[in-house]
Each structure stands twice: as C-alpha cells, then as structure tokens.
Structure 1
Amino acid sequence: MTTPRIVVIGAGLGGTIAAYEINGAVGNRAEILMISDSDTYSFVPSNPWVAVRWREPEAIQVHLPPIFAKKRIGFTSAGAKRIHPAEKRVDLNNGESVNYDYLVIATGPDLAFDEIEGFGPNGGHTVSVCHTSHASEAADAFEEFCKNPGPIVVGAAQGASCYGPAYEFALILDTELKRRKIRDKVPMTFVTAEPYIGHLGLDGVGDTKTLLESELRNRHIKWITNARVTSFEAGMAHVEEVADDGSVKSKHDLPFGYSMLLPAFRGVPAVRDIEGLTNPRGFILVDKHQRNPKFPEIFALGVCVAIPPTGPTPVPVGVPKTGFMIESMVTAIAENFVEILDGKEPTHEATWNAVCLADFGDGGVAFVAQPQIPPRNLNWSASGKWVHLAKIGFEKYFLRKVRKGESEPFYEKLALHVMGIRKLKM
C-alpha cells in the first residue's frame, strides 16, 4: 500500500503552520509536500513597520527549506501554475507536475490592483504593504516623500476584505511624521469602502467605531466612508462617496504626495475559474470541515476561502480572515486528516473566532470576536499603549515558532496572554 501524499500550496501564515501541524498530526502515515512560490516566509502583520523602516525585511523573514527538511516535509519553491482537480494534479511554474491524494490550498489572495486605473505599486501611482517586498519599496518612497512632504491618502478600496492594516498604516504614518517633526506639513485623509469607521468588514467589534473615530479625530485625520475609488493619477486620487441608496453622493479629487490603499482580493490564477472549486471571484468553496463539496480530497484555509459578507453595504466590503480564524482552520484540517487516514469521515470544524492587535506605533486597538461573524457570544475591544507592546511580543513569538517548525497554536495562546483575558474561553 502506497503512502498517501498531502500537498499544501502556499507557505504564508496559514500554509506554513498547516504543513507543520498536519505533519505532526499524521506522522509517517502520509507524505507532506509544500509548494510555494518563494523560499522565504514573511510575517505579513509587520509589513506596515517595514514601510516606515521600523523593521528591515530580513528581520521579519524566515528561510524555509532547511526547516522543512528538518521536519521531513518536502518543499519546492517553483510555485503552482494550475490545479487540475479531476486529475489530482498540480502543474508547477517550472514545467513539472505534482500528483496528490489530498490537497490543501492556502495560497492567500491575488491582489486586484488592475481593477482600478493607476492603482498599485507596479506601474501605478500608489504604494502597498500587502507583500514585504511592496513594503520595502514603500519605505523608499516614504523617505523621498519626507524630503518634500505634502498630503497623504490612506485606506482600503472597494471590495477590500482586510481593513486593520489600513488603519494601522495611517496611524503609524502619523506617529512617524510626528517623530520627524513634519506632521504639521502633511494633511491626511482616510478613504474606505466601509459604511462607517471601525466596521472592519465585520460590522464592528465591540466599540471599534468610537475607538477608531476618536483615534482619527485626535490625530487630525479626515475620513471618507462608503468610498468608491474610480482612478488614480500621479498625485491625485479620484473618489466617489456613495449614498445608502447606491447613488453618488459627492465626488472627491484628493491630491497626495504619498498614498497607500489596500486593494480588493481575488483567487490566484492557479485556482480561478474551476467549476465547483471556486466562486466567481476565485475563492475556494468549502463546507464546515474546510472541504470542497465537489472535490472532497481538496481542503482550503485562510484568505483564499470564500466567505459571504456580513450584510449588504452601499459599496462592496469583504470579510477579513484573521490569524486566529486561520489558525482554527488549520487545526480542523489537521484533525480531519487523522480521521480520514483512519477511514472515517471528517468531523472537526473551525471555530472562526477573531483576535486582532492593531498597532499605531504609540498605542493601538485590540478586539476579540467570538465568533468572527455576528451575532456573537463575545464582542470586546479596547485600546492603549499596551497593544503596541503586545504586537512587538507577538511578532517575536510567532517568528520564533516558525523558525523552530513548531505547530502549537500561536494566536490563542499569545493573544489571550498579552490581553490578560484568560477567563474568556475561546
């Protein structure tokens, strides 16, 4: 009897810990192979720090091949070109193919900068913190900006499904500009598709509306909600503010010397437009066990998973997949593989709770949502300088675990510890 092969695609936050945890759960009962498009793991939550040079890229990156070799997990950085579910095969970018018995898709998103004219870091007029390489380029642009400061526009475009980093980066910029004593020369505007400040794609958590509005107001950052960006040109963002009935309430031409907006996400080309596997945006369809209904040997986790929005909004707003939520998907999949290899049907489900530490450089906002999608059993948020310190500690903790190849839960253990809320059962 041949040993089944479990292939994991994507060595980001979710895929890396999935490979570790699945390997630990199934032992020598299955062969594990990781397909990545890079030899390097990057701790994406620290990208806003990279963009103002509070971190250098190498400080938040881990070289993966020797770690996977030590864990006896196969690894290739050729990257996945196309998945063929009916054949249980993955074509790689180097022309080779890999067969699988089971597939775990953890690719993260494709960044849809091309959906808005002039948007993005590659040939567009804005910077990005979505990838560490983007954030490094954003740091160079920020240094040039500081030589001749002017207006800044920060936020999240229509269809975005990740809002925390937009708030983080706006307020980190505010903190850094104050340290350089040029904040008085920099008008700032926060532009977001959210129907209100602090919505976060989750219809708010606790009192995030009041907390984040107060932060922006106290730091003299103006905002535009229900915003639909129509285009960017050099030094100018063109934005429509949409009314509740979907009509255009007003138009804004926002000059900028520096701008970063988070884009909408979609599925990566390797999985897009495969009937039964993905929705129209290319996100993977899964059941409550993280399993695709049409191709039951395929599982998915993280940002690439299809989740419907919390409700209708005047401008499209996606749902974030936070680290704690992703971690619970990983554990459910690992435990389900144990059952599958025992000849049983999978029974484990992800909890889909959310814990977030949003750092502002000199403070921050934290929230806990159980479950992430309302209505909730727990709905809590708080702010303070302790959040900044907690985020630093979390970064060190997480990177240490990745470097050691350890699969124990990261988010639950650390987040509950630093927030001092062990009494809140997740």
Structure 2
Amino acid sequence: MAHIVVLGAGLGGVPMALEARKHARKTDTITVISDSATFHFTPSNPWVAVDWRRPDQIKVELEPMFAKKKIDFIHSAATKLRPEDNSIELANGETVTYDYLAICTGPELAFDEIEGLGPHNGFTQSVCHVDHAEAAKPVWDEFVKDPGPVIVGAVQGASCFGPAYEFAMILETDLRRRKIRDQVPMTFVTSEPYIGHLGLDGVGDTKGLLESEMRNRHIKWITSARVTKVEDGLMHVEEVAEDGTVAKTHELPFKYSMMLPPFRGIPTLRGIEGLVNPRGFVIVDENQRNPAYPNIYGIGVCIAIPPVGNYAVPVGVPKTGFMIESMVVAAARNLRAVMDGEAPTNVATWNAVCIADFGDGGVAFVAMPQIPPRNVNWAAEGKWVHIAKEAFESYFMSKVRHGTGEPFYEKAAFDMLGIHKVKPKASDQ
C-alpha cells in the first residue's frame, strides 16, 4: 500500500490524480492538495475578461468529483515541502506524509519583478487566473465607455505567449462589435524575438500568420521588448538588440493593458537544493522524476525546461496541454512500474497542440515534438478555430465534471492532420 500525493489541481494536477487512480493498485491511496476548492479552465480566462463567459461556467467543485473516484482532497495551501522527510506542511496546520509526490502546481506569477505590473498594486490586468480575469471585466466595462490606447503582450521571463495573442485579438474583435475600434490604438509588446515565436521558435508559419493578423487588425508590435516599469497610464519599454544593447526606448501611453508576467516556481519549493533550479522550477529527468528525490515527479508548467534559444531578452518555453497530458500519462505509468519493483521506462512525447481563439477566427498548430527539430510542423487559420476552441472547452469541462481521464490532445492532433497513429518511441514500446 502506498500513499500518492498530488500537489496542485489545475490542468496538470486533476488529470494526474485521475490517471494515477487508473494505474494505481486498489490498496493505494491518492490525496490531492490544492489552495483552490475548484478547478478552473484556464484557456477560457480571456473570454471571462470581456464577459463572453461567467466564471462559474468554467469552474468545477473538486471535492465531490474526487470523492466519486475514491481520491481524497485537502483544500489548503502548501507552505513547506520537506522532501528528506517525505512530508508537506500545510497552511491549515496539517502535515501530510507521502510515499510518492507529483508536483503539479503551475507557476507563481512574478508581478513583483517589474514595478507597476499586475492587478495587485499595479496598473495592468491579467488573464492567468480566473480571479484575475473576473477582476479585469469591470475595468474593461469602464474602458469601453471612454476608450483610448491599449497595450497587450508578455514581459521578459513569461513562459506562455498564446494567451497574449488570443487576448489582443479578442479585445480587437470586441471593439469592432461595439463599433469603437477606430477610437483605440493597439500595441502588442512581447519579449519574443519575432511575432509568432511563441517560445518555440515558431510552429509552421506562425510568424507569417500572426503578423498578417496583426496587420489586418491594425495592431502595431514591439518585439525583443523589456518592460522596465509601468506607471498609471504609461509603460516604459526597452527594445533590445541581439547583442543585448538597448536599441530603442519607448514610453507607451495606455488606458487599458494586459501583460502576462514572468513565471517562477512557487515559494513552497524554491531553494530546495537538488529539487529545483534557481528560478524554483522542478528538475525532472525523461521519466518525469526528480534525480535527487526519485519518489517526486514534476508535471506541467512547474517543471524546468531550457529555453529554445539564447536571446537577449528571456523567453520561456510554454508547457502546452498536449505536452502536459503526455507528462501525466508517463508519470502515472512510471509510478506503477516503480511500485511493482520495475524500472520506469515511459517517456512523455512532449508534442504540442494549440487552439488559439481570436474571437471570430483563430490559429491552430501542431508541433511534434514541441521543441525543434520536428517531425510535424503544422499551422493553419480560419473561423473553424473559434468553433473548435468552444468545443474543446465543453469537452474538457465535461471530462473534469465526470472525472474521466481519457487523453484528448493526441486524438485532436491526429484528427487535424488526418492521421491515426504515430510510431511510439522505443522507450514507450
């Protein structure tokens, strides 16, 4: 009998708990620890910020769903991980011990690293959390009554760029529907070296597709951008050359701004030697295990992945849904193998599927593997992408409500490409 603890209950934690339950022995117990009582579907946050969704439409109460699957749930933040003792201290005063731990916390949003950034004591909005998106809605409601310049983008150290592109296009679509687009100059500010890089050195022709979208929608852009400071209504930006020197400075006025922040590991993990890197992200091997503490697994945005290239402005690598799904499957199977006294051999595919909604269309891409060079490097655009995103939201929310762990992304990718099977790695056979 083993006790498996899953820390976090988001896009990585919920699937990990369900997959672990599927592969674990009947005598094994599984406990999920989360600082939130609900699961929220993060990809729909941009819609919440413009009132295209209500927060309750993208939330699921976790405890009753987990109870049906015989998974214990503790609603409390973790305050201290002690891997040498196999224990976690919680904010509610409890200490939970484990035999195996899956860390699926996602990142801490490091708004404090840039003066004036973020919705807490800052001047920019966020769609990284449903609460941020909900708080952004009334700000948008006030903005459209008296519109002005808009800035959207992602600052240095961000590790996810898709939502920034989505939100810029969704705002632009909403402004056109309100017939006030002509009153709103828009600028996209990003740490990426070029539009459509996405932290992945592009996928297919994402550079051309996204630049074309920007031009058609009259959105200007600044790349290789380092945001140095945000004041009320004014953003200070340095445009950085390849050699690291400042090529140009910008003082950009705005009446509304949403900027994705830098990511770092959560305080519970930071500083634990051998477990995390200097930014607090969990170090894992190809089997999703930490080399220093082999009974600890890392899944999702919380893990350490080196950047695709060496850029003058830091550009993080996103951990997309397909990639996370493959980590979950590999980790759960390796957990069972280890409990059975076998060597872990399952390796995540680290492929990527992204459906980026632009309000009245969008861009979808498939990268296999996510980090180049690739076997599949495909991108396409069209109104069908918006419909596909809505269908995906409905499907995934149904999965969580009913506690089913059937993988989705691989099937979606194969359907998009018109293929049915990809030869697995030798380690998967």
Give the TM-score of the pair, scaled to structure 2.
0.97
Q: Which residue of 1 aligns with 2:426?
A: none
Partners of 1:287 and 1:98 lie apart in 2 by 25
The amino acid across from 2:418 in the alignment is: I
Q: Which runs of 5+ in 2 are unaligned?
A: 424-429
Partners of 2:323 and 2:195 lie apart in 1 by 22
The amino acid across from 2:171 in the alignment is: L
Are 1:422 and 2:419 matched, yes or no?
Answer: yes
Instruction: Number of aligned residue pairs: give it.
Output: 423
Partners of 2:412 and 2:51 lie apart in 1 by 25
Q: Which residue of 2 aligns with 1:33?
A: 31
Q: Which residue of 2 aligns with 1:246?
A: 244
Are 1:274 and 2:272 matched, yes or no?
Answer: yes
Partners of 2:286 and 2:417 lie apart in 1 by 31
The amino acid across from 2:198 in the alignment is: L
Q: Which residue of 2 aligns with 1:14?
A: 12
Shift of 1:392: 0.4
Partners of 1:59 and 1:415 lie apart in 2 by 26
Q: Which residue of 2 aligns with 1:398?
A: 396
> Residues 26-425 of structure 1: matches in 2 within 5 Å?
26-417=24-415, 419=416, 421-423=418-420, 425=422
Partners of 2:122 and 2:325 lie apart in 1 by 34
Partners of 1:198 and 1:411 lie apart in 2 by 21
Shift of 1:96: 1.0
Whether the 8 Å contact between 1:394 and 1:414 is mirrored in structure 2 is no
Whether the 8 Å contact between 2:366 and 2:413 is mirrored in structure 1 is no
Secondary structure of the residue aligned to 1:13 is coil
Partners of 1:388 and 1:226 lie apart in 2 by 29
Secondary structure of the residue aligned to 2:9 is coil
For each residue in 1:205-230, what CA deviation from the matched residue of structure 2 results, as whole angstroms up to 9, or x when unmatched?
00000000000010000000000000
Whether the 8 Å contact between 1:39 and 1:65 is mirrored in structure 2 is yes
Shift of 1:423: 4.6
Whether the 8 Å contact between 1:130 and 1:262 is mirrored in structure 2 is yes
Identity %: 64
Secondary structure of the residue aligned to 2:312 is coil
The amino acid across from 1:7 in the alignment is: V
Shift of 1:424: 6.6
Secondary structure of the residue aligned to 1:28 is coil
Whether the 8 Å contact between 2:299 and 2:328 is mirrored in structure 1 is yes
Partners of 2:395 and 2:36 lie apart in 1 by 22
Whether the 8 Å contact between 1:301 and 1:326 is mirrored in structure 2 is yes
Partners of 2:9 and 2:395 lie apart in 1 by 18
Shift of 1:413: 2.4
Partners of 1:21 and 1:245 lie apart in 2 by 46
Whether the 8 Å contact between 1:151 and 1:188 is mirrored in structure 2 is yes
For each residue in 1:236-271, what CA deviation from the matched residue of structure 2 results, as whole angstroms up to 9, or x when unmatched?
100000011110001000000000010110000110
C-alpha change, 1:259 and 1:52, in structure 2 (3 Å) is: same
The amino acid across from 1:397 in the alignment is: Y
Deviates more, 1:21-30 or 1:310-319: 21-30
Shift of 1:311: 1.1
Give the TM-score of the pair, scaled to structure 1.
0.98
Deviates more, 1:25-34 or 1:155-164: 25-34
